[in-house]
Amino acid sequence: MPRRLLILGSTGSVGTQALETVAHSPEQIELVGLSAESSWEALIAQAQRHGVRRIALADPIAGARAAEAWTDGEVLSGPEGLVRLVVESGAELVLNALVGSAGLGPTVATLGEGIDLALANKESLVVGGELVTALAEATGAAIIPVDSEHSALHQLIAGERPGTIERLVITASGGPFRGRTREELANVTAADALQHPTWSMGGKITIDSATLMNKGLEVIEAHHLFGVPYDRIDVVVHPQSLVHAVVDLCDGASLAHLGHPDMRVPISYGLHYPERVDVPVPRLDLAQAGSLTFEPPDMETFACLRLARDAAAAGGTAPCVLNAANEVAVHAFLAGRLPFLGIAEVIEQTLERLPAKRIHAFESLYAADRDARAIAGELVESLAAAAG
């Protein structure tokens, strides 16, 4: 029997590589749906190439265009279209590779239906970690991380008994600005930041890597996935990106997960778990790699990691506010409307103006997300006005 798979965010970097993985998989995987944010032409081309009859676009305007242009199948649109695609898919596995907090609704829909989730959308856990993991527990759906560090942790922890894990360590490449001072970062541009040294990823996540916010989000993600308290999750900068994560055990042993930085590996793991299949990536040659180096992150220069840790400690709506403010600030930076150091400034001030509240239901999160976006948007405007 083929495995029935639905891919959300199939036109992005992870989604495109996932389609390649499916096409070359020795397992029979049936694609029951594809979706994207707004790139409707690319999505239709994918549906035609892979014989998919049902697609969804989060952006209603893009959805309308797609429905006009494509008559071989059904087009759903808007955030509720994505949810319908999930709920009516009959999928056994959903890969959520959407970018940003827009991934939360489809994550909730997937887990609510008891469908296993291969999760590349870390924001789902950053924003709604407590509720999302509780929902998965209630319906028995599994969450298999696709983020490379968390995939590594998932593999390292799989063979260990509960209670033996002392500490989790996730590695950071340090991004394109590793070693620079604050003064040197004042005038860097989006083009500078998009030169990622080791991982090839989408725009948003590449900027998050440059600010180290990506690692901050990943600490929160790891906390929810593995139930480890924040003071036992560390970040270490490792510029070669060959070690992805380390697990310290109670007997003094430490287990590390290694491999070339290539998203095809965690994607294949997430789509085939608990099986493994051959993936045509270069094999690791340690003698050729030479030396592996490690250093502590510079949390003074890269304030976003500190802000994420503080928001995680505050709990409640704080990580949701952090994430929303970050999305607005990164978008403004990419558009050339905010300086690099302004990203952390917008996030910090948004967090100050919206103190953490307790979360009662998903509605509390949607409200916090909305409020944070409004305030961060105002802050971006006032910083832009002050600058020029």
Binding residues (CB under 5 A) for Mg ion: these are 147-149
Q: Smallest distance, Å, CB 91 to Mg ion?
A: 24
Q: Smallest distance, Å, CB 287 to Mg ion?
A: 27
Residue 316: partners with Cβ closer than 8 Å, 6 or more residues away: 356, 357, 358, 359
**Measured distance CA(210)–CA(198) in Å, rounded:** 12
Three-class SS of residue 277?
A: coil
Q: Smallest distance, Å, CB 173 to Mg ion?
A: 9
Which residues in 201-223 are b (16+ Cβ under 10 Å) and which e? bbbbbbbbbbbbbbbbbbbbbbb
**CA distances (Å), 264 to each of 173, 244, 379, in order?**
18, 14, 38
Q: Which is nearer to Mg ion, 219 or 379 (CB)?
A: 219
DSSP 143: E
Q: Which is nearer to Mg ion, 123 or 147 (CB)?
A: 147
Element (H, E) at 118: strand 116-119
Q: Smallest distance, Å, CB 218 to Mg ion?
A: 6
Give ∠ CA 82-109-93 in degrees, rounded to 5.
85
Q: Which one, of 186, 193, 221, 220, lies nearest residue 207 by Cα?
A: 193
Q: What pairing do the DSSP bridges indicate for beta strands 165-172 and 243-249?
A: antiparallel
Q: Which is nearer to Mg ion, 89 or 241 (CB)?
A: 241
Q: Smallest distance, Å, CB 216 to Mg ion?
A: 12
Q: Sheet holding 233-237: strands in order across?
A: 233-237, 165-172, 243-249, 254-258
Q: Smallest distance, Å, CB 256 to Mg ion?
A: 16
Q: Which is nearer to Mg ion, 62 or 205 (CB)?
A: 205
**Measured distance CA(136)–CA(30) in Å, rounded:** 24
Three-class SS of residue 23?
A: helix
**CA distances (Å), 219 to each of 120, 126, 163, 291, 305, in order?**
15, 9, 20, 26, 9
Q: What pairing do the DSSP bridges indicate for beta strands 254-258 and 243-249?
A: antiparallel
Q: Which is nearer to Mg ion, 59 or 147 (CB)?
A: 147
Q: Which is nearer to Mg ion, 34 or 99 (CB)?
A: 99
Q: Which is nearer to Mg ion, 245 or 328 (CB)?
A: 245
Residue count (the chain): 388
Q: Smallest distance, Å, CB 134 to Mg ion?
A: 24
| Structure-token pair, residue 332 | 């403004």
Q: Which is nearer to Mg ion, 149 or 327 (CB)?
A: 149
Q: Smallest distance, Å, CB 68 to Mg ion?
A: 38
Question: What residue number has its CB nearest to Mg ion?
Answer: 147
| DSSP notation for 245-266 | EEEEETTS-EEEEE--S-THHH
Q: What pairing do the DSSP bridges indicate for beta strands 233-237 and 165-172?
A: parallel
Q: Which is nearer to Mg ion, 149 or 262 (CB)?
A: 149
| Structure-token pair, residue 141 | 């759906």
Q: Smallest distance, Å, CB 266 to Mg ion?
A: 9
Three-class SS of residue 30?
A: strand
Q: Which is nearer to Mg ion, 37 or 149 (CB)?
A: 149
Q: Smallest distance, Å, CB 126 to Mg ion?
A: 12
